[in-house]
């Protein structure tokens, strides 16, 4: 081997090593390659398989703690959807600095895949209170709604709305925490003076929390019309079963129609027609008052005599 080839080989080796961790956070090519080529550990839960890959071995991570957290997150998704939302997902765990879990992203076009970063110093508190992996698993359950520039609110709103409910149903979160998030977050989803409908997606608040308002209204509407016999959960489970999850692309209208078919109502279609291209300010104060939820001295308090207190409990799976 002459020195030129040796030098080229050495440069390639350095580039490979130096790029190893950061590469995964760009486009999904490196993610899919890692899932295909690196060793994995398979968790079988709720009829699905989760292939966990520790990116480049993810040195410094407590593997048992990570796998327990993956199981716990899957339990929440299974509680809500009645099964693990896809037959198979590749989950790439990237080791990072600090004690937090962040940067979750879900992909579907080349097989269901999630990438998430776990801080090497993450302990029981970070794993126990994490919502990000459940959020990503909710994305697995629903088709990728296109065109994405319009439908971001539909996907993000559903994940924001379902994630805490799923965690309560699995016994991992308190009922108060769900409503604490809604009381604080949903006002950020109201349209501003220059905003259009949800399909115009003017920013983060409208997409994430405006979308969450849509799904809360849908849940309440379906429960009202079916005397609490059916709910958004039935609609979303049907969408999950019919699509098979995030491996396929659907239009917003397909999502709405499949959901309504499952509940025998027009709740989703009516809400969608109202909110997709018009700025709709929802009377959140009135809505929370009817559900019997408020914040007093920083704490979430429930009024069990409120007209829809029973419906509020049913939303998180309590009778």
Considering CB under 5 A, how many residues would be counted as binding Zn ion?
2
Closest separation in Å from C-beta 31 to Zn ion: 16
Tell me the backbone φ, ψ of residue 149, rounded to 5 degrees.
-65, -20
| Positions 153 through 192 that interact with Zn ion (CB under 5 A) | 156, 159
Question: How many Cα atoms are found within 13 Å in the side-chain-facing hemisphere of 279?
Answer: 11
| Positions 65 through 84 that interact with Zn ion (CB under 5 A) | none
Whose Cβ is closer to Zn ion: residue 85's or residue 221's?
A: 85
Whose Cβ is closer to Zn ion: residue 152's or residue 256's?
A: 152
Whose Cβ is closer to Zn ion: residue 156's or residue 175's?
A: 156
Q: Length of the chain in residues, anyone?
A: 319
Closest separation in Å from C-beta 1 to Zn ion: 49
| Positions 129 through 158 that interact with Zn ion (CB under 5 A) | 156
DSSP letters for the chain? --HHHHHHHHHHHHHHHHHHHHHTTSSTHHHHHHHHHS--EEEEETTEEEEEEEGGG-TT--HHHHHHHHHHHHHHHHHHHSS-SSSEEEEEEEEESSS-EEEEEEE-BTB-EEEEEEETT--HHHHHT--HHHHHHHHHHSPEEESHHHHHHHHHHHHHHHHHHHHHHTTSS-HHHHHHHHHHHGGGGS--TT---GGG--SHHIIIIIHHHHHHHHHHHHHHHTTTSS-HHHHHHHHHHHH-STTSEEEHHHHHHHHHHHHTS-HHHHHHHHHSSS-----HHHHHHHHTEEEETTEEEE-TTSTTHHHHHHHTT--
Whose Cβ is closer to Zn ion: residue 85's or residue 292's?
A: 85
Closest separation in Å from C-beta 100 to Zn ion: 17
Closest separation in Å from C-beta 156 to Zn ion: 5
Whose Cβ is closer to Zn ion: residue 19's or residue 203's?
A: 203
| Positions 35 through 54 that interact with Zn ion (CB under 5 A) | none
Closest separation in Å from C-beta 157 to Zn ion: 9
Closest separation in Å from C-beta 49 to Zn ion: 22
For position 220 contacting Zn ion by CB under 5 A, the verdict is: no
Closest separation in Å from C-beta 210 to Zn ion: 14
Closest separation in Å from C-beta 198 to Zn ion: 15
Whose Cβ is closer to Zn ion: residue 116's or residue 159's?
A: 159
Whose Cβ is closer to Zn ion: residue 173's or residue 262's?
A: 173
Whose Cβ is closer to Zn ion: residue 157's or residue 221's?
A: 157
In sequence order, the 6+-apart residues with CB closer than 8 A to the CB of 160 are 135, 185, 208, 209, 211, 212
CB atoms closer than 10 angstroms to residue 97: 10
Which residue of the chain is nearest Zn ion when measured via CB? 159
Interface residues with Zn ion (CB under 5 A) are 156, 159
């Amino acid at each position: 081997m002459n020195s030129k080839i040796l030098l080229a080989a050495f440069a390639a080796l350095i580039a490979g090593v130096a790029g190893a961790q950061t590469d995964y956070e760009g486009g999904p090519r490196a993610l899919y390659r890692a899932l295909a080529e690196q060793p994995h550990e398979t968790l079988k839960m709720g009829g699905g398989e989760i292939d966990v890959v520790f990116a480049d071995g993810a040195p410094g991570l407590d593997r048992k703690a990570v796998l327990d957290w993956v199981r716990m997150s899957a339990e929440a998704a299974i509680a809500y959807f009645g099964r693990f939302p896809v037959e198979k997902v590749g989950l790439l765990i990237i080791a990072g600095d600090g004690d937090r879990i962040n940067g979750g992203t879900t992909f579907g076009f080349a097989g269901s895949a999630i990438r998430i970063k776990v801080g090497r110093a993450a302990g029981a508190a970070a794993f126990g209170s994490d919502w990000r992996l459940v959020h990503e698993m909710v994305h697995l359950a629903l088709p990728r709604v296109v065109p994405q520039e319009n439908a971001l609110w539909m996907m993000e709103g559903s994940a924001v709305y379902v994630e805490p409910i799923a965690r309560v149903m699995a016994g991992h979160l308190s009922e108060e925490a769900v409503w604490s998030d809604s009381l604080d977050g949903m006002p950020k989803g109201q349209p501003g003076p220059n905003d259009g409908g949800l399909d115009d997606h003017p920013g983060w608040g409208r997409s994430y929390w405006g979308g969450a308002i849509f799904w809360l209204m849908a849940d309440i509407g379906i429960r009202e019309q079916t005397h609490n016999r059916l709910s958004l959960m039935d609609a979303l489970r049907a969408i999950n079963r019919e699509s098979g999850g995030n491996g396929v692309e659907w239009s917003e209208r397909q999502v709405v129609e499949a959901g309504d078919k499952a509940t025998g109502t027009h709740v989703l279609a009516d809400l969608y027609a109202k909110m997709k291209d018009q700025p709709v300010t929802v009377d959140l104060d009135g809505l929370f008052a009817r559900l019997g939820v408020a914040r007093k001295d920083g704490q979430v308090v429930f009024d069990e005599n409120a007209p829809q207190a029973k419906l509020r409990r049913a939303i998180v799976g309590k009778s």
